Every structure is written in structure tokens, then in C-alpha cells.
Structure 1
Amino acid sequence: IKDLLAPDRVLIGGDETVDGSLAIKKLSWIYEHWVPKERILTTNTWSSELSKLVANAFLAQRISSINTISAVCEATGASVSEVAKAVGLDSRIGSKFLHASVGFGGSCFQKDVYNLIYLAESLKLDN
């Protein structure tokens, strides 16, 4: 409920048609009743879908990175919590999702990473 009441952002995507634009405007109007306008982003369908996939892939990458760093910390005697805190204080990085554990879970991270890989491969993008 917290995420619905105070979201970081609301991303609304739709078709670039008259009906799609109307649907986007109506949905935006609903959210504007409790979400500041500057947090409501409207895009075309592909931009909104890719934004979701990329955001979850970035978060999964952060979790995977700190878990790898955790193994390096164990091997060297460094404290992963101290390293994560120091890295998280860098304003370019931030502290969210820098807690080492067994991996990333949830219903979206793995699925969205696989979807992004599939999309890139189906578009014949090698990178």
C-alpha cells in the first residue's frame, strides 16, 4: 500500500493513437489526485516497458554485485557491511540494494532480466 500511496514514480505507457493518448491522460488525471505531477511520466508503450525491465535489471545487478563483493570481503577479511556503507555514501551510487544476502528474489527481477536478454537477442543485438 505504501508504494501505491507514495510511489517514487508512476510510469504510464500507451499507444501513440488518439485512444491511447486519451487513456494516458485519463490515467494520469486519476494519479494526479495523490501523486505530484512531476512524478508521473507518460511515454509510448515500448518506452514504458523497457523502463520497467531496465530498472529491475539495474537493481538485480546491484544485488549481484554486492553479493560478489561479499565473497571478496570474506576472502580478504574486509567487512562487507563497512564496504557497502562506504560505497553507499557515494552520492552517485546510494545505499539502496547494497545488502549482501543469498541473491535476488521476488517475482520480477529474474523474469525481467530474462525478458531484457530475450529482447536484445531477438533484435540481434550482440552487446
Structure 2
Amino acid sequence: MKDARLASFPTDAVRELEFMAKEFGLDGPRTPRPEFVGYVSGPWSIWAILEVRNKTVDTYVNYDAGHSVLRAPVWYLVRKAKLTGAGQPKNGALTRAGVQKSLAAQARALRLLLPLLLADGGTDLMGQ
């Protein structure tokens, strides 16, 4: 049986996350596998990942510090940055509609986070 969530994930993720290329200059989308959609710029990479078995979708921000790669989920960064306007965490992916809602919520949070992360000292949010 074909999983509509997986079949539509690349399209749904790009629709929500393409602002990262248009507004912030990240390169992408990159889709090495249907359940991964990513954007990169220098040491930064941001990946939306559909976990089919766990029925979740999460977006992770990665920073390659040279000696290590720092990785954090979007909702962790929202809490750490104290972004009260980012909305409620969503990562449910029981249905395609659930995937779309979770991606939309994570994209809203990223719009608020990216200016902070890409600014001087932004890696402080990542734990460095």
C-alpha cells in the first residue's frame, strides 16, 4: 500500500520551507531520499525529516563547527531563544494533513529563528 505521507512529503516540505532559499539564500531543496528535505549554506544545514514508523516529522538545524556538528530540533531552539510567538510545537504525522500542519508550524518557527541563528553569535543557541 502506498503511503500518501511519504509520497507527498518532498512536495509538502518544499512548499513550506522554500522561503529559506528565497529569503535567506540557503541552497536547496536537497532530497537525497523521499523522507529528507534539506537546505544548506556554509556550515549551516536544515533538514525536515519524516519518520514514517514513528509517525512524526521534525526539522533539525545543524551547524558544522569543524571539530563537531551541533544539531538541535527546531522546537528546542524555539524554547532556548524564548520565542513565545513561534506557536505550539507540532510534529505529528499520522496523516498527510498532519504532516502538512506540522511542517507549517515548524516553518513559522524557522522564520523567527533563522535571523537569530544566522546573525553574529547565532551559534550560541546551538550550544556553542
Q: TM-score, normalised by structure 1?
A: 0.22
Select the structure of larger CA radius of gyration: 1
Q: TM-score, normalised by structure 2?
A: 0.21
Structure that is richer in strand per residue:
2
Structure that is richer in helix per residue:
1
